[in-house]
Structure 1
Amino acid sequence: MAETKAVANGKKNKNKSNSQLMGVWMRLKKNRLAIIGLVILVILILVAIFANIIAPYGYDEQDLQNTFQTPSLKHLFGTDEFGRDIFSRIIYGSRISLQVGVIAVGIAVVVGGFLGAVAGYFSGKVDNVIMRIMDILLSIPQMLLAISIVAALGNSLINLMIAVGVSSIPQYARIVRASVISIKNQEFVESAKATGSSDLRIIFKHVIPNCLAPVIVQATLGIGLAILTAAGLSFIGLGIKPPTPEWGAMLSGGRMYIRNYPHLTLFPGIAIVITIFAFNVLGDGLRDALDPKLKQ
């Protein structure tokens, strides 16, 4: 009887979870801008995955006899000062930008989420120490903090992701802490304590999973901000070293020729704008879809 009841409860919880996901998807589908953003992101991901197939040229393939070519059938977005195909470099650059955005936000979510959960769950001195450190980091502008970290570690893809991720940790720590404080005294947490579960088990199994909704929304919006921050660092020479294609570095390289050859900065700029727009509208759509007040 006990096993049958446990199986029935498992099926019930699974059906309930599927029903909630379907509800979120149905509300998300009603937001046209969010769906447009989702479609754009799917296209960008596919472009990044199949860049070797889609790009007509290598990202570092030079043709010094055809420098500063304007957009044409041979070079859709024209060529740069070294005769490199801008269209191909933007396609390969999507890999770098998405990789930086996702991994940097992943670092911030994991570290910031854990610190926020610990601070909110234990309260007291632990909360004061962790959150005062977060307040100190928040008092420093995110771009300035990222610049300091990259300047200390050196220019590389890994250091760029670390810099952007570390500078975003306080935001996720505060979000998770606020969510943990609101749920740590609920009945299912008290029940877990009564059964003898350890604090870490309660945090990872019961508390953090119930804080995911605001974190998912913030992470979606944060990826766009991380891509913009990485592009800004590359623009001022603290990002990825050339000839690796990165949209911010492409903007920096083309700014000297912007009067005579505006296409050198136009297309990388459009790529950044479209990508950040897609993440922002999708994040807004997820926020509305995951809002419990809209479930009625």
Structure 2
Amino acid sequence: MTTLAPALRVPAARLTGLRARPGTLLALAFVTLVVVAAVAPGVLTDRSPTTIEFGNALAAPSWSHPFGTDEVGRDLLTRVIHGSRLSLGIGLGATALAMSIAILLGFTAALAGGIVDTAITRVLEVAFAFPALLLALLLIAIFGPSATTQVIAVGIGSAPGYARMVRGQVLNVRQAGYIEAAAALGHGRWTVVRRHLFPNAMRPLVAVVTLGVGQSIVWASSLAFLGLGIAPPNPEWGALLDAGRLYITTSWWLEILPGLVIVLFAISVTTLGRTLQRRLEGASR
């Protein structure tokens, strides 16, 4: 009986991986579809997102218009497809900005130590306690709504959380034996940081960055829904939600379907991020 238990655990683990695999594949397929829509929308639709047909205004979903049409007859699916470029660009830009700030502050705090570490940590704690969405609203109110402002607002709002993670990861890796061995072999401080500390500290955070893209898109869409996003007629996902809320009682598809796309993308990116995180943790073990 004692020899059978280990043998039974391996197939069970494999079955668990197989059960998780279809969801991961579906998530990958949906994210790939959004990336294709962002890079080459003409592959998915030959319609223009700005073509107006007043005679076809507020048409319900059908075979010719799977997502229906808006208040001026524009095909909603086409606008969602073309809006992928703006939404994905804002999400990637905001995440890149947040991680750049986080790496600068996190590494500086962890490597400098002392008063510098204490000062940066206290600033991060205050910024982290301040609601990120409220900070983004403040920045947009000061500089005005635009795609660039959304990237800056969402990036700065999410940077403190990433910075705390970077600092903790650097402090953890800094105590590893191979870091001490590299220093003992005569490698310079910045050589050790560049070749050993930075790659090993950032590797576990790759999954966090993946999750951050979906979060940034949701935040940017929330700002656009409040009327603080890209001005119409640009087909950004959040702007579509903002325009559709005026007709939610009569034309539900204008609000529900773009919102469903945002939710599915966020879930898909989260699924891929968690899968990547498990693989990285397994590789490190």
**How much does 1:195 deviate?**
5.6
Judge which range, 224-233 or 253-262, deviates more: 253-262
The question of 1:190 aligning with 2:186 is answered no
Matching residue of 1:75: 65
Alpha-carbon separation, structure 1, partners of 2:241 and 2:181:
56
Q: Contact 1:34–1:283 (CA<8 Å) still a contact in 2? A: no
Alpha-carbon separation, structure 2, partners of 1:28 and 1:119:
39
Match of 1:42 among 26, 29, 32: 32
Q: TM-score, normalised by structure 2?
A: 0.87
**Equivalent residue pairs, number:** 269
Matching residue of 1:159: 149
**How much does 1:141 deviate?**
0.9
Alpha-carbon separation, structure 2, partners of 1:143 and 1:212:
26
Matching residue of 2:241: 251
Matching residue of 2:165: 175
Q: Contact 1:28–1:289 (CA<8 Å) still a contact in 2? A: no
Matching residue of 2:4: none
Going from structure 1 to structure 2, the CA distance change for 1:191 and 1:197 (only over 3 Å counts) comes to: same
Alpha-carbon separation, structure 2, partners of 1:281 and 1:53:
26
The question of 1:102 aligning with 2:92 is answered yes
Matching residue of 1:240: 230
Partner secondary structure for residue 84 of structure 1: coil
Going from structure 1 to structure 2, the CA distance change for 1:231 and 1:191 (only over 3 Å counts) comes to: same
Partner secondary structure for residue 133 of structure 2: helix
Match of 1:65 among 40, 55, 60: 55
Matching residue of 2:121: 131
Q: Unaligned regions of 5+ residues in structure 1, if any?
A: 1-26
The question of 1:223 aligning with 2:223 is answered no
Match of 2:74 among 81, 84, 87: 84
Alpha-carbon separation, structure 2, partners of 1:50 and 1:262:
28
Q: Contact 1:160–1:230 (CA<8 Å) still a contact in 2? A: yes
Q: Unaligned regions of 5+ residues in structure 2, if any?
A: 1-15
Going from structure 1 to structure 2, the CA distance change for 1:61 and 1:198 (only over 3 Å counts) comes to: farther
**How much does 1:249 deviate?**
1.3
**How much does 1:221 deviate?**
1.1
Q: Contact 1:230–1:248 (CA<8 Å) still a contact in 2? A: yes
Q: Counterpart amino acid of 1:162?
A: I
Match of 2:196 among 206, 211, 214: 206
The question of 1:113 aligning with 2:118 is answered no
Alpha-carbon separation, structure 1, partners of 2:284 and 2:116:
35
Matching residue of 2:256: 266
Q: TM-score, normalised by structure 1?
A: 0.84
Q: Counterpart amino acid of 1:31?
A: A
Match of 1:52 among 31, 42, 54: 42
Alpha-carbon separation, structure 1, partners of 2:204 and 2:43:
37
Cα RMSD after superposing both structures = 2.1
Query: Percent sequence identity over matched residues?
Result: 35
Alpha-carbon separation, structure 1, partners of 2:267 and 2:51:
30
